[in-house]
Amino acid sequence: MMHKKKNKMTLLIFTLLLIIIAGVSVVGIVRNTKEESFIQGEIEFTELRISGKVAGRIDSFWVEEGDYIRAGDTLVVIQSPEIEAKLHQAEAAEKAAFALNQKAENGLREESLNAAFEMWQKAVAGAEIARKSYNRMLRLHEKKVISTQKLDEAEANYKAMIATEKAAKYQYDLARKGSYKEDKQSAMAQLERAHSVVNEVRSYLDETLLTSPIAGKVGTIFPLKGELVGQGAPIMNIIDTTKIFVIFSIRESDYPILSVGKVIKGYIPALNNQEIYMKVTSAKDLGNFAAWKATKQTGELDSKTFEIKAVPQKVPEGLISGMSVIIKK
């Protein structure tokens, strides 16, 4: 009797387990059926990150999160005392180089001209004395007062002084025409280097005033006013409201619904299920790590996951990045 009761109890427990397993299976099938009745995607906006080339302290923000801006609008001003100090140093070096260049062009040339002119005048005077001395020696030689050797010496001295005078005249002419080419080139090169340093530092100083390269909407602003930011540190994101995508991650079996080139209709729950039409522009395999594992029979192939990108044909008003888009199968 006890043995029969024990068998009945075992049978009852076994039956209850079968009922529970069957119930769980039915719920799973129902849930899978519901999950597979639609495809869910997400709105994504293209974002541009704004960062500075110089380190410094946030002086002021000219925009707030959510502001709509145009290309070229000022976004933030960064205060950088180091860059300002370098600019002052570079400008001082530029002024010094300019003064040296002016001296090479004017002052040094004038001094050289005066010195060359004096040398030439001395040579002219020396040649004139040598000429008179030679003429006197010539007359004395004709009167047999001096020897031929003395006359030859006077003539040689006269010719040497004429050559000296010509050489001095040549040097004066060169100075007058700007003969100190090397000095002038060196001074000009220093000035050009100083110019380039100033321009380089000014370009860094320009980077302390950041402007938007595109029209769009201000997204997240990361630092607070007065905070220090490093070189290349992100300061804010600008949302390009002209480049909007809808991204879907789908099973391989759903690809025919969202194949490239198709125009599909979806609904946006956050906007009272407003309709949105999109054109599928690209699809890519997300790799084996994102495969859907077979759940029906042993040996069934795994289903790959694809990322689908679609572009709205018309952007609904009030659309925000992150909103869901639903496509009914």
Q: What is the average pLDDT across 14-28?
A: 62
Q: How many other C-beta atoms lie within 10 A of the C-beta of residue 262? A: 13
Residues 58-89 as b/e (b if ≥16 CB within 10 A, e otherwise) read beebebeeeeebeeeeebbbbebeebeebbee
Provide the β-strand partners of residue 311: 279
Is residue 66 helix, strand or coil?
A: coil
- The residue type of 210 is L
Length of the chain: 329
Angle at 122 (CA atoms; ends 126, 171), nearest 5 degrees: 115
**Residue from 199, 281, 265, 232 nearest 78 by CA:** 232
Whether 130 shows a pLDDT value over 90: the answer reads: no
Contact 39, 326 (CB under 8 A): yes
For the chain, state the CA radius of gyration: 47
Is residue 254 helix, strand or coil?
A: helix
User: Which residue carries 């522009």 as its tokens?
Assistant: 281
Angle at 121 (CA atoms; ends 117, 122), nearest 5 degrees: 120
Average pLDDT, the chain: 80
- Read off the tokens for 49: 């990150």
The span from the CA of 202 to the CA of 206, in Å, is 6
pLDDT in tens, 140-181: 888 888 888 878 888 888 888 888 888 888 888 777 766 466
Domain 38-80+214-328 belongs to what architecture?
Answer: Beta Barrel (2.40)
**Residue from 112, 106, 103 nearest 187 by CA:** 103
The pTM of the full predicted model, rounded to 2 decimals, is 0.51
Q: pLDDT band at 94, cuts 50/70/90?
A: confident
Which DSSP symbol is given to 143?
A: T
Angle at 29 (CA atoms; ends 24, 32), nearest 5 degrees: 120
Contact 209, 77 (CB under 8 A): yes
Q: Tell which wins on pLDDT, 185 or 78.
A: 78
The span from the CA of 61 to the CA of 72, in Å, is 15
Angle at 255 (CA atoms; ends 253, 257), nearest 5 degrees: 110
Q: Tell which wins on pLDDT, 270 or 93.
A: 270
Whether 4 shows a pLDDT value over 80: the answer reads: no
- Read off the tokens for 99: 């003064």
Angle between helices 148-176 and 108-142 (to 10 degrees): 160
Query: What pLDDT does 298 receive?
Result: 47
Q: pLDDT band at 117, cuts 50/70/90?
A: confident
- The residue type of 86 is K
Query: What pLDDT does 267 receive?
Result: 96
Q: How far is CA 109 from CA 104, 114, 189, 191, 299, in A?
A: 7, 9, 18, 18, 96
User: Which residue carries 């300019």 as its tokens?
Assistant: 98
pLDDT in tens, 189-247: 777 777 777 777 777 777 888 999 999 999 999 999 999 888 889 999 999 988 899 99
Query: What pLDDT does 123 receive?
Result: 85
Contact 87, 131 (CB under 8 A): no
Q: How many helices (H) and strands (E) does the chain have?
A: 5, 12
Domain residue ranges in the chain: 38-80+214-328, 82-204
The span from the CA of 269 to the CA of 328, in Å, is 13
